[in-house]
Amino acid sequence: MSRYVARRFLYMIFTMAIMSVVAFIIIQLPPGDYLTSYIMQLQTSGQTVDAAQIEMLRRQYGLDLPLHEQYLLWISKIVRGNFGISFDYNRPVLELLAQRIPITVLISSLTLLVTYVIAIPIGVYSAVRQYSIVDYVGTVISFIGLATPNFLIALILMYACQRLFGFNASGLFSPEYANAPWSLAKFIDMLKHLPIPVIVIGLSGTASVMRVMRASLLDELKLEYVEAARAKGLKELALLLRYPVRVALNPIVSTIGWVLPGILSGATVTAIVLDLPTVGALMYRALLSQDMYVAATCVMFLTFLTVIGTFLSDLLLMWVDPRIRYE
Amino acid sequence: MGATLLEVNGLKTYFHLEEGVLKAVDGVSFRIERGKVLGIIGESGCGKSVTARSILGLVARPGKIVGGEILFHRADGSVVDLARLDPQGDEIRDIRGKEISMIFQEPRRSLSPVHTIGEQITEALLLHRTQDHKEAREIAIDMLRRVGMSNPEVRFHSYPHQLSGGMCQRAMIAMALCCRPALLIADEPTTALDVTVQAQIIDLMLELKEQIGMAMLYITHDLGVISEVADEVAVMYLGRVVEYAKTERLFENPLHPYTIGLFNSLPAFSSAKGRLQAIPGNVPIPIDPPPACGFATRCSKAMAGVCDAAVPELVEVEEEHYVRCFLHHEERAVS
Amino acid sequence: MSASPAVAGETSRFYAATQWQLMWRKFLRHRLAVLGLIILTIFYTIAAFAEFIAPYDPYRRNTRFIHVPPQKIRFAGQDGFSLRPFVYGLKQELDPVTWRRRYVEDPSQRYYLRFFTRGDRYRLWGLIETDWHLFGVDGGGTLFLMGTDGSGRDLFSRIIYGTRVSLTVGLVGILISFVLGCLLGGISGYYGGTADLIIQRVIEFLLSIPTIPLWMALAAAMPKNWSTLQVYFAITIILSVVGWSNLARVVRGKLLELREEDFVLAAKLAGASDLNIILSHLLPGLMSYLVVSVTLAIPGMILGETALSFLGIGLRPPVISWGVLLNDAQSVSAIALHPWLLWPGLFVVLAVLAFNFVGDGLRDAADPYQ
C-alpha cells in the first residue's frame, strides 16, 4: 500500500520535472530571446536602452550561458519561489498568479464536483433503465456535449442570458464588485456568475463520465455477484447501490485522471471567452504578448493542478478499491 | 414418503427475444422432500439453471415465468406459489436467503470484489436472522469455521481476490447457509474448481446438509457428482424433464435414449467397450420449437412420423420412474 | 436432413466473408453510424469541390453588403407562388433610432435561383480554369445563404472553403499521430523493457497534462512571418504531439496480447526479422482497433484546431477554416448584432458528431463479442 503511494508520488514529481523542461522550451521557442521583446517594449514606450544596460540584463538572466545551464539557473530560481518577472505588467509572476490561483482552483474543483454529481446518477439510471427516455435523452445530450466546442456553448449561453434575462454573464463579478473588497453581496454576485462557466466547462466531462458510468454499470449488472446478492433477499435499490454501483465507481474514480486535464483545458478557452480572472486567461494574454515567463509559469501551474488532482484520485481509488489497497 | 418441501408443476419460463420466443423451461415438474437431494442433470442450455432461478424469482428480463406453479411449504406451515410472487416483492425477499438459498458456479465472481467476506455474510444475517451486529459477526465467524476455513477471524476481513477459488466457494456456502435455509439450490457449485477441491466441497455440502437438515436442489452436468449426492435425479433436455427416477434406479436402468447417450459418453459408465460414444450433433436452441420431441434430431432411435410429430408425455414406466419418450409409450401400452 | 444443403450453403457463405466484410455488415446495422458516414461523405465531397459548390469567391469583398443577414429563399411572394425558388433584392437603409446600417428585402426585385451559373473565376484544384458554379442567382442579384461578414464576404462560400482546411487538419494530424503511435506503441509493446518503461511514462505524462494550454503555448511560439502552409503544418504537428499517445496505448496493449500468440513464435522460428513480424504479422491483427481509435481521435483534432484558430493563435487569415471564421464571433456584442456568424459552429458540431457516430459504429462492428 505504501509502495503504491510512494510510486504515485514519485510519478507526480517526475511529471512535474518533465513539465518544467517543456515549460523551459516554451520560453525558448519564440524567435529571439525574451530580452529582445523586453527591450522592444522599453523602446516603444519611449525609453532609451544602451548597450551596457542590455549586457547587464543579459547577464542577470543568464542569457550568455549554454542552454542546459540556463535551464538549471531557471529551475533553481523556481524551486526557491522566484518565477521571474512579467514584462507586460512589470511585476513578479507569482504576484500576478496569486490573485488568480484561488479562482482557478475554485472553478475547476466546483466543475469537477458538479460533473460527477450530475453524471453518476444519470449514468446509473440509464444503465438500470436501458433504452428508457432518460437513457435516450442522456445519450443525445452527451453526444452534443462532446461535439460542441466549449467556446461555442459559452457564446450561445452568454447570448441567451443577454437576450432572455438581460444578464451580462461575462466576468466573474459584476462591474460594481470587480474591485470591491470581499463582502456578502460580492459573494452572492459571484454565485450568480458561476453557473455558466461551470456548465460550459463541465458539459463535455459530464457527458463522458455519464457514458463511462453507464457502460461499466451495464457490465457489472451482468455479473453473478449481483444475482448472488439478490438471492440473499436484499431490496432492489439497496442491492443496486451496495453492489454493482459501488463496484462500477472504481473505474469512475480513475476517470478523474483524464477528466481533470479536460476541465482545465476547457476552463482555459472558456475563461478567455467569458473573461474570467483565471490562470488560463492570464496565460492567453501572456502568450499573445510573448510574456513568456508568465506563460510558462501558467502552463506549469495548470499541469501541477492536474497532477495533484490525479494523485488525489489515485489515493481515492486506493481507498475505494481493495484490490489496489492490498496489492 | 417424507414431507413435501417444494413442488414444481408444469413450470414454463420463456424468454421473449427479437428472434422469437425462447422456451428455456417448457413444462417442468418435480418434487423435493424435506432433507432430500434432487439432482438435475443436463447439458448447458437445457434449462436447468433457468429452472433454479425461476424458483427464487431471479429470472432476468426478457425472461418471464409464463405458466405452472412452484409450491413452497414454508417454515410456518403455509404454502406459497413462488411463481405468482412479485419478483421484487417483500414476500419473495423474505424467503430468499432465509428459507431458500443459492450458490453459484463461479465462486469468485459470485462475491462482490469490493466487500470483505465478513461483510457479505453478515449482510444476509442482518437481513433475516438478527439485528445485532456483534451477534451477526459471531455467527458469521462460526459459519466460516464450520465450512472449514482456517483462521476464520482473519478470513472474515479478507476480500475475495485474496482467497483461492475453493476458499471462495466455502465462503459462498457459509453465506448461503448462515440463515439455516430449508432448501439450498446449488447451481454447478463445483464445476469451476479443481477436481480435488470438488470432492472436498461436495463432502462439506453433504455434511452441512445433515447438520442443518436441509434439502438440496443440485444442478450439474456431471453424472459422477450426481451419483454421489442425489437421492433422485431429473434429466433435462431442451427445457423439459425427459427422465425422472430414484438415483439407483436411473443408474441401473436408464431408459431415455438421451440418458443412455449421457452414460455412454462417460468412461466409468460406458456399457460399450472401446471408444466412448458421443451424442451426435449439438443442443438446438429452443426458439419457437416445433411440436416434437426435442431430442428427435439427435436420436438414433427416432421414428419418422412419430417423434417429429408430437411432444411425448412424461409417463411412469415402472414405479417412480418417469420417461418422456415415444419408445416407452408403446411399452406401457403393451403392458 | 432435407434442410442441410441450404444450411451448408449458408454457413459456407458466412465463412467466406472476410473480417472486413463482416465488420461492414455489422456497421450497416448501426443507424447513427451510417448517418455519420453519409454526413462525412457529403462534407468531404464539399471539401473536394469547394470552388465549384461555393457560389462566390470567398475572398471577394463587397463594401455594399457588409454584415448582411442571411437571405431567405422563397417560393411565394406578393406576386404569387413560384416553383423556382427566388430571393428578393436587398436595399440598404439607416435605422432611424440606432443609426446603424441595415438591410431590408426589396420585394420589387426577384432573383431566381439557378443551377450551373457563371460567377467568379477560379481554378479547380489549381488546374482547370472556369467560372461555372453549382448554383447562383440571376444576374444582378445576390445570394448570401448565411449572410456576409464584416468585409462583405459571403459566409456560406467561406464555410464551404473552410471545410477543406478544417477537415484535413484532422486527417493530416491523425496521419502523423498514426505513424508515431504505431512506431512508439509498437516498440513499447513488442520489445518491452526499458524502451517500454520510457515510452509508457511519456504517454502517461502527455495524457495527464491539459492539452489546450500546451497547444496554445506551442502555437503562440510560431513565428509571425511563417507562410500559411508552414502554419498549417505546424498546427497539425502541434495537434499530433498529444494525439499519438492514445494510439500508442492501443497498439501497445494489443501487441502485448498478440505477441504471446503461437503464430509469432512460428514466424520467429522461421527466421523472420522483428520489423517483418511487427509489420506483416502483428499490425494486421490490430488494424481494426487502430481504425476505431483513429476515427475517434479525429474529432479531438478538429475541435483543437477550431479552438486555437478561434482564439487567434492557430490558423490565421487569409487561411479559411471554421475556427478562423468563428474568430469573428468572439464577443457577445458581435453575436447579438450578427448571430449568423455562428453558422460555422454548426458545421463543426456536425462534423465532430459524424466522426463520433462512425467511430462508435466501427467499435461495435470490430467487437467480436457482439
pLDDT digits (tens, 9 = 90+) for B153-198: 898 999 888 888 888 888 998 998 888 899 999 988 888 788 888 8
Average pLDDT, rounded, for chain B: 85
Look at residue B316 and tell me whether its pLDDT is greater than 50: yes
The nearest alpha carbon in chain A to C220 belongs to A287
* H-helix or E-strand spanning residue A78: helix A67-79
Backbone conformation region of residue C279, classed left if phi is above 0, alpha if psi is from -120 to 50, else beta: alpha
Contact A228 B161 (CB under 8 A): no
- Enumerate residues 267 to 326 of chain A having a beta carbon within 8 A of any beta carbon in chain B: 320-323, 326
Interface check for B163 against chain A (CB to CB < 8 A): the answer is: no
The owner of cell 548597450 is: A51
Domain ranges of chain A: 2-79, 98-320
Local confidence band at C67 (pLDDT 50, 70, 90 cut-offs): confident
Interface check for C205 against chain A (CB to CB < 8 A): the answer is: yes
Out of B88, B115, B176, whose CB is closest to A236? Answer: B88
Alpha helices in chain C (DSSP H): 4-16, 19-29, 31-48, 50-53, 155-191, 193-208, 211-220, 228-258, 262-269, 274-276, 283-311, 322-326, 332-337, 343-366
Write the CA distances from B56 to A169, A255, B324, C24, C86, integer angstroms. Answer: 57, 37, 26, 43, 71
Mean pLDDT, residues A63-79 taken together: 80
Torsion angles phi and psi, residue C290, rounded to 5: -65, -45
Look at residue B218 and tell me whether its pLDDT is greater than 90: yes
Look at residue C268 and tell me whether its pLDDT is greater than 80: no
Look at residue B37 and tell me whether its pLDDT is greater than 90: yes
The nearest alpha carbon in chain C to A142 belongs to C353
Domains of chain C with bracketed CATH = 71-143 (no CATH), 159-366 (1.10.3720.10)
∠B261-B267-B273 over CA atoms, to 5°?
85
Write the CA distances from A262 to A112, A170, C210, C248, integer angstroms. Answer: 10, 22, 6, 20
With contact defined as 3+ CB pairs under 8 Å, the chains touching B are: A
∠A178-A270-A186 over CA atoms, to 5°?
20
Handedness of CA A257, A258, A259, A261 (dihedral sign): positive
- Three-class SS of residue C97? coil
Overall residue count recorded for chain A in this entry: 327
- Three-class SS of residue B224? helix
Interatomic CA distance for residues C327 and C308, integer angstroms: 10
Residue A199 C-alpha cell reads as 456548465
Residue A124 C-alpha cell reads as 446509473
Write the CA distances from B195 to B102, B104, B108, B222, C20, integer angstroms. Answer: 22, 17, 17, 12, 43
Look at residue C228 and tell me whether its pLDDT is greater than 50: yes
Contact B114 A232 (CB under 8 A): no
Contact A298 C213 (CB under 8 A): yes
Per-residue model confidence (pLDDT) at position C260: 72
Q: Which of C212, C237, C246, C355 to mutate to test the interface with A (most CBs of A within 10 A)?
A: C212
The class that CATH gives domain A98-320 is mainly alpha
Mean pLDDT, residues C239-249 taken together: 82
List CB contacts (< 8 A) between A241 and chain B: none
Local confidence band at C17 (pLDDT 50, 70, 90 cut-offs): low
Q: Higher model confidence: residue C262 or residue B17?
A: B17
Q: Distance from A242 to chain B by nearest Cα, in Å? A: 9
Q: Which stretch, C69-78, C161-170, C269-278, has highest mean pLDDT?
A: C161-170
Average pLDDT, rounded, for chain A: 82
> Of the candidates B124, B55, B48, which has an alpha carbon nearest to the alpha carbon of residue B92?
B55
∠B234-B236-B239 over CA atoms, to 5°?
135
A11 Cβ contact partners less than 8 Å away, ≥ 6 residues apart: C201, C204
CA atoms within 13 A on the CB side of B5: 22
Contact A152 C312 (CB under 8 A): no
Residues above pLDDT 70, as percent of chain A: 92
Look at residue B38 and tell me whether its pLDDT is greater than 90: yes
- Three-class SS of residue C116? strand
pLDDT tens digits, A85-139: 777 777 888 888 888 888 888 888 999 999 999 999 999 998 888 788 888 888 8
pLDDT tens digits, A207-227: 888 888 888 888 888 888 888
Amino acid at A236: E
Contact B110 A247 (CB under 8 A): no
Local confidence band at C367 (pLDDT 50, 70, 90 cut-offs): low
Out of B109, B112, B162, whose CB is closest to A229? Answer: B112
Q: Distance from A235 to chain C by nearest Cα, in Å? A: 31
List CB contacts (< 8 A) between B105 and chain A: 224
Local confidence band at C11 (pLDDT 50, 70, 90 cut-offs): very low
Contact A147 C220 (CB under 8 A): no
List CB contacts (< 8 A) between B53 and chain A: 227
Contact A228 B98 (CB under 8 A): no
List CB contacts (< 8 A) between B127 and chain A: 232-234
Mean pLDDT, residues C109-128 taken together: 76
Look at residue C18 and tell me whether its pLDDT is greater than 70: no
Look at residue C5 and tell me whether its pLDDT is greater than 50: no
Write the CA distances from A202 to A193, A266, A267, B177, C319, integer angstroms. Answer: 15, 8, 9, 48, 31
Per-position b or e across B192-205, b if 16+ CB within 10 A of its CB: bbeeebbebbbebb
Out of A227, A232, A322, whose CB is closest to B123? Answer: A232
Residues above pLDDT 90, as percent of chain C: 1
Contact A259, A208 (CB under 8 A): yes
Question: How many other CB atoms sit within 10 Å of the CB of residue C344?
Answer: 29
Backbone conformation region of residue B108, classed left if phi is above 0, alpha if psi is from -120 to 50, else beta: alpha
The owner of cell 505504501 is: A2
List CB contacts (< 8 A) between B115 and chain A: 242-243, 246
Interatomic CA distance for residues C109 and B201, integer angstroms: 93
pLDDT tens digits, A143-191: 888 888 888 888 888 888 888 887 777 777 877 777 777 788 888 888 8
pLDDT tens digits, C145-163: 777 777 778 888 888 888 8
Q: Which of A221, A225, A327 to mutate to test the interface with B (most CBs of B within 10 A)?
A: A225
